[in-house]
Amino acid sequence: MTGSKIGQRAVLFDRPAVLFLPASRERAIAKARGSAADMAILDLEDAVPVDDKELAREAAVNAVAEDWPMPVAIRINAPGTRWHAADLAAACASNADMIVVPLVSSPDEVEAVAVQASQPVAAMIETARGVLAAEEIASIAAALIVGTNDLAADLRLPSGAGRAPMRHAISQVLLAARAKGIAAYDGVYNRLDDPDGFAIEAAESRAMGFDGKTLIHPSQIAPCQEAFMPSAADIERARRLVEAAGEGAQIGAISFEGEMVEAMHVASARRLLARIGDV
């Protein structure tokens, strides 16, 4: 295996609100480009009807040729589908910042894309096989995205079961990404009429350690960003900890505000401050 093509890996971190939109809808593309999303993914897969696949492919390539205020990716159709090869060729030749591969169940499927693409490749983990192979997949992919809708179907969960039965699988994907040092994104929240439910799930995503969450509507962008933004108390504590440790200092265990902290805690504080530009 050649390893991950992550020359543009920086675009994948600190991008909490990741908006999916159907590439076949010109209006949706315009709204996404004018939105405050941290990343946009032009979808050629689930959001596009079969009869519109070719139209969506052409529209996505044309869209990424324009200027965007945020990184923009193309999600191609899955390996084994009749659209995959043409999608892959078009995405590789486009100005997309990233290629997203759905329904990945083995590292070979990511490898087959990565060897052709100059862009980083994100893998969507949406099946039991994908979860079990997540660590190997993360050795090649530049990011992992949990596809909770397909995962729930593959696990044969009853309607309304929610995320609880999937938490172990979701955590496995996150663990795989962290073990390989790549970004990890949580799945979508389907109910657009339940902003409180979305806020709760986004807060859970951040608490679990995800870098961000995938979204299905621009109305979810602001609450997602709010959920992933460090609190004022977190920021102030990070500043105090970095100051106590000394900039650039290598420390052992020290006492800080009644707690024992080590170098890892200082590193986390510095990452938090770097994320908000307070460096």
pLDDT in tens, the chain (279 residues): 334 443 444 455 678 999 999 999 999 999 999 999 999 999 999 999 999 999 999 999 999 999 999 999 999 999 999 999 999 999 999 999 999 999 999 999 999 999 999 999 999 999 999 999 999 999 999 999 999 999 999 999 999 899 999 999 999 999 999 999 999 999 999 999 999 999 999 999 999 999 999 999 999 999 999 999 877 777 777 788 888 887 555 566 777 777 877 777 788 778 777 766 665
Residue 163 CB coordination number (10 Å): 18
Answer yes or no: do 236 and 192 share one domain.
no
- CATH number of the domain enclosing 220: 3.20.20.60
In a domain, 170, yes or no: yes
Residue owning tokens 């499927």: 109
What's the pLDDT at 9? 44
In a domain, 106, yes or no: yes
In a domain, 203, yes or no: yes
For helices 232-245 and 263-275, what crossing angle results, to 10°?
130
Answer yes or no: do 96 and 212 share one domain.
yes
pTM for the structure as a whole? 0.86
Answer yes or no: do 262 and 191 share one domain.
no
What's the pLDDT at 2? 36
Answer yes or no: do 120 and 177 share one domain.
yes
Domain count, the chain: 2
- Please check whether residue 39 is in contact with residue 60, taking contact to mean a CB–CB distance below 8 angstroms: no
What's the pLDDT at 3? 40
Answer yes or no: do 52 and 158 share one domain.
yes
What's the pLDDT at 10? 45
Answer yes or no: do 154 and 264 share one domain.
no
- Please check whether residue 190 is in contact with residue 218, taking contact to mean a CB–CB distance below 8 angstroms: no
Answer yes or no: do 108 and 224 share one domain.
yes
What's the pLDDT at 43? 98
| 3-class SS string, the chain | CCCCCCCCHHHHCCCCEEEEEECCCHHHHHHHHCCCCCEEEEECCCCCCHHHHHHHHHHHHHHHCCCCCCCEEEECCCCCCCCHHHHHHHHHCCCCCEEEECCCCCHHHHHHHHCCCCCCEEEEECCHHHHHCHHHHHCCCCEEEECHHHHHHHCCCCCCCCCHHHHHHHHHHHHHHHHHCCEEEECCCCCCCCHHHHHHHHHHHHHHCCCEEEECCHHHHHHHHHHHCCCHHHHHHHHHHHHHHCCCCCCCCEEECCEEECHHHHHHHHHHHHHCCCC
In a domain, 4, yes or no: no
Answer yes or no: do 17 and 29 share one domain.
yes
The alpha carbon of residue 26 and the mean position of all alpha carbons in its chain are separated, in whole angstroms, by: 23
What's the pLDDT at 247? 59
What's the pLDDT at 250? 58
In a domain, 2, yes or no: no
Residue owning tokens 């699988």: 169
Tokens (6 digits) for 254: 């020290």
What's the pLDDT at 35? 97
Domain encompassing residue 245: 232-275
Answer yes or no: do 81 and 168 share one domain.
yes
Answer yes or no: do 210 and 80 share one domain.
yes
